[in-house]
C-alpha cells in the first residue's frame, strides 16, 4: 500500500485558556484526522497583522492516507467543533483556535480552497519557529529553501518566547519497549496494512512477507493438491530466512522490528492445505526450524469475520485469490485460534477489526492503538 502523507499543521490560540485550547486541538487531530507523530514546543508570539492578545503557537506533524483537501475539510470542521466562530469581517481577528495546513509532503497545491505550502509561511516567525522545532528534513518546494534558510531570510522580527513542552499523544504507547512485534491474521485481515502504519508511525523496521515473489502461489490456487507441498516449503524457507536475517541485523535508526507474519503461520496453513503424510514430513522440518526462531515480544492477531475477509480479498484484486472459498478462510481462522489457545508463554493480543477501517477512519486506527496500550499496561 502507499506510504502515508506527512502533513505539517500550525496551531494557534489567543482567546480563553490558550494552553487548554492547544492541547485539546492536538488530541482531537490525533483521534479524528491523522496520527500526530511530532509536536513542537509551545511558543508565545505577538498577534500578527492586527492588535490583539498574544498567541500561543505550536506545530505538529501528522501522518495520514487522506488527501490534502480531505485534511483541510476536516481541519475546518474541527475548528468549528472547538469553538471557532468565523466572521465576515475582513482582516485578521482573535480566535479560540486556528489551524493552518502548512505543508503536505513536498507537494505544491494551488487550488481555490487550498494553497500548499502556505503562501505566507516564510513571512511568519510564528509558523517558522515551531516548524523548525520539529527537526524536519523538509525543503520548501517553490522557494527551494530549508527551514533554517527561511528563518534567516524572514523579515519578521517578532519577539517569540518558549513557554513549555507539549505532550505528544503517540508517546503514551511505548512500542519501542519491544524488540519484535508480529502482526497476524487471516488472508485479507489487514495485517500488512497495520504493519506498515505502525512502522511509519513508531519508527520501526518493517519485515513483510514476500508472497508476490512466490512462483507457487498462483499455481496453488489452481491446483491445490499438486502445489500445496512446494508452496508451503518455499514459504517456510523464506519466512525463516527473512525473520532470522532482519532480527540479526541491528538497525541504529529504527527502534524495533514489526513483521506482518509469525513463522508459526506456516504450520497453520500447512495443516489446512497438506495431505496427512505430507503434513507429517512438513512438521518434522518445521519443528527443527521453530526451535531456532526468536519469539515475538507482542503477538497481535487481527480477527475479521469471513464475510468481511471475502470483501477485502475482492477489493484488493489479486486474481489468484478471487476463488478462495469461505470454508478455507474459516479453517485458517480456526487454526490460528487453536494455536493461540495452546501458547502459554506468548504475549497475545486479539483485536476484532470486523467493523473497522483503520485506513479511512482515524478513530478506528486509534481504537487499535488504545487496545495495544491497554495490553502494555495490563
- Please state, in angstroms and rounded to a whole number, the distance separating the CA atoms of residues 180 and 182: 7
Domain boundary residue among 169, 184, 209?
A: 169
Per-residue pLDDT, averaged over 115-143, amounts to 96
Cis peptide before 117 (omega within 30 of 0): yes
162, 45: one domain = yes
**Percentage of residues in the chain having pLDDT higher than 90:** 72
157, 280: one domain = no
Among 256, 191, 201, 261, CA closest to 65: 201
Does the pLDDT at position 82 exceed 90? yes
Residue 247 is predicted with a pLDDT of 80
The CA radius of gyration of the chain, in Å to the nearest whole number, is: 25
Among 25, 47, 29, 49, CA closest to 37: 29
Among 164, 112, 163, 121, CA closest to 140: 121
Cell readout for 174 is 511505548
Please tell me which residue in 98, 100, 201, 260 is annotated as part of the active site. Answer: 260
Per-residue pLDDT, averaged over 136-156, amounts to 95
Per-residue pLDDT, averaged over 215-239, amounts to 87
Residue 21 is predicted with a pLDDT of 97
- Looking at residue 164, which CATH number applies to its domain? 3.30.70.560
250, 103: one domain = no
**pLDDT tens column, 29-52:** 999 999 999 999 999 999 877 778
Residue 345 is predicted with a pLDDT of 87
Residue 50 is predicted with a pLDDT of 74
Min mean pLDDT across 87-96, 112-121, 252-261 is at 87-96
Counted domains in the chain: 2
237, 117: one domain = no
Q: Which domain holds residue 348?
A: 173-377
Does the pLDDT at position 213 exceed 90? no
Residue 90 is predicted with a pLDDT of 61
Does the pLDDT at position 68 exceed 90? yes
324, 269: one domain = yes
DSSP label of 172: G
Domain boundary residue among 169, 203, 229?
A: 169
End-to-end CA distance of the chain: 32
Contacts of 354 (CB under 8 A, 6+ apart): 303, 304, 305, 308
Cell readout for 324 is 478462495
Name the band, by pLDDT with cuts 50, 70 and 90, for residue 219.
confident
Residue 29 CA, distance from chain mean position: 14
Residue 61 is predicted with a pLDDT of 98
Structural contact between residues 107 and 116, judged by C-beta atoms closer than 8 angstroms: yes
355 included as an active-site residue = no
Residue 318 is predicted with a pLDDT of 77
**pLDDT tens column, 251-302:** 778 889 999 999 999 999 999 889 999 999 999 999 999 888 888 999 999 9
Q: Is the dihedral of CA 231, 232, 236, 237 positive or negative?
A: negative
117, 19: one domain = yes
Min mean pLDDT across 11-25, 69-83, 323-337 is at 323-337
DSSP class per residue in 196-230: HHHHHHHT-EEE---GGG-THHHHHHH-HHHHHHH
Residue 10 is predicted with a pLDDT of 98
Q: Cell 490456487 maps to which residue?
A: 221
33, 143: one domain = yes
Domain boundary residue among 145, 169, 193?
A: 169
Residue 7 is predicted with a pLDDT of 98
- Looking at residue 219, which CATH number applies to its domain? 3.40.50.300
Does the pLDDT at position 93 exceed 60? yes
Residue 212 is predicted with a pLDDT of 58
Structural contact between residues 127 and 121, judged by C-beta atoms closer than 8 angstroms: yes
Name the band, by pLDDT with cuts 50, 70 and 90, for residue 209.
confident
Contacts of 194 (CB under 8 A, 6+ apart): 183, 260, 300, 302, 358, 368
Residue 92 is predicted with a pLDDT of 67
Does the pLDDT at position 91 exceed 80? no
Does the pLDDT at position 2 exceed 80? no
User: Considering the entire predicted model, what is its pTM?
Assistant: 0.89
Residues belonging to the chain: 378
Residue 319 is predicted with a pLDDT of 76
Structural contact between residues 97 and 123, judged by C-beta atoms closer than 8 angstroms: no
184, 70: one domain = no
* Residue scoring higher pLDDT (212 or 14): 14
Contacts of 173 (CB under 8 A, 6+ apart): 202, 369, 372, 373, 376
36, 185: one domain = no
Residue 214 is predicted with a pLDDT of 77
228, 159: one domain = no
Per-residue pLDDT, averaged over 81-101, amounts to 81
192, 328: one domain = yes
Main-chain dihedrals φ then ψ at residue 302, nearest 5 degrees: -90, 110
Does the pLDDT at position 126 exceed 90? yes
Residue 89 is predicted with a pLDDT of 59
Among 45, 42, 26, CA closest to 34: 26
144, 51: one domain = yes
Amino acid at each position: 500500500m502507499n506510504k502515508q502523507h506527512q502533513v505539517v499543521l500550525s496551531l494557534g490560540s489567543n482567546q480563553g485558556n490558550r494552553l487548554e485550547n492547544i492541547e485539546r486541538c492536538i488530541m482531537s487531530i490525533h483521534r479524528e484526522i491523522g496520527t500526530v507523530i511530532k509536536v513542537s514546543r509551545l511558543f508565545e508570539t505577538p498577534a500578527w497583522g492586527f492588535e490583539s492578545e498574544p498567541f500561543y503557537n505550536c506545530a505538529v506533524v501528522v501522518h495520514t492516507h487522506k488527501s490534502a483537501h480531505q485534511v483541510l475539510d476536516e481541519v475546518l470542521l474541527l475548528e468549528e467543533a472547538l469553538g471557532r466562530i468565523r466572521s465576515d469581517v475582513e482582516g485578521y481577528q482573535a480566535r479560540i483556535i486556528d489551524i493552518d495546513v502548512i505543508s503536505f509532503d513536498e507537494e505544491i497545491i494551488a487550488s481555490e480552497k487550498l494553497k500548499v505550502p502556505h503562501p505566507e509561511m516564510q513571512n511568519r516567525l510564528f509558523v517558522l519557529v515551531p516548524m523548525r522545532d520539529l527537526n524536519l528534513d523538509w525543503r520548501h518546494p517553490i522557494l527551494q529553501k530549508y527551514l533554517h534558510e527561511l528563518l534567516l531570510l524572514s523579515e519578521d522580527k517578532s519577539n517569540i518566547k518558549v513557554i513549555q513542552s507539549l505532550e505528544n499523544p503517540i508517546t503514551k504507547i511505548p512500542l519501542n519497549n519491544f524488540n519484535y512485534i508480529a502482526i497476524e491474521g487471516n488472508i485479507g485481515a489487514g495485517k500488512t496494512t497495520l504493519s506498515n502504519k505502525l512502522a511509519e508511525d513508531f519508527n520501526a523496521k518493517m519485515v513483510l512477507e514476500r508472497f508476490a515473489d512466490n512462483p507457487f502461489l498462483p499455481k496453488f490456487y489452481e491446483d491445490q493438491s499438486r502445489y500445496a507441498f512446494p508452496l508451503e516449503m518455499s514459504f517456510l524457507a523464506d519466512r525463516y530466512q527473512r525473520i532470522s536475517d532482519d532480527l540479526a541485523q541491528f538497525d541504529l535508526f529504527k527502534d524495533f522490528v514489526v513483521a506482518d507474519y509469525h513463522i508459526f503461520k506456516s504450520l497453520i496453513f500447512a495443516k489446512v492445505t497438506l495431505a496427512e503424510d505430507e503434513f507429517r514430513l512438513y512438521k518434522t522440518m518445521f519443528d527443527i526450524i521453530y526451535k531456532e526462531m526468536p519469539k515475538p515480544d507482542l503477538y497481535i492477531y487481527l480477527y475479521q469475520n469471513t464475510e468481511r475477509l471475502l470483501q477485502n480479498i475482492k477489493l484488493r484484486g489479486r486474481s489468484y485469490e478471487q476463488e478462495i472459498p469461505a470454508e478455507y478462510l474459516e479453517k485458517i481462522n480456526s487454526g490460528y485460534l487453536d494455536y493461540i489457545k495452546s501458547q502459554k508463554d506468548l504475549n497475545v493480543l486479539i483485536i476484532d477489526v470486523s467493523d473497522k477501517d483503520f485506513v479511512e477512519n482515524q478513530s478506528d486506527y486509534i481504537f487499535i492503538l488504545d487496545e495495544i496500550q491497554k495490553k502494555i499496561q495490563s
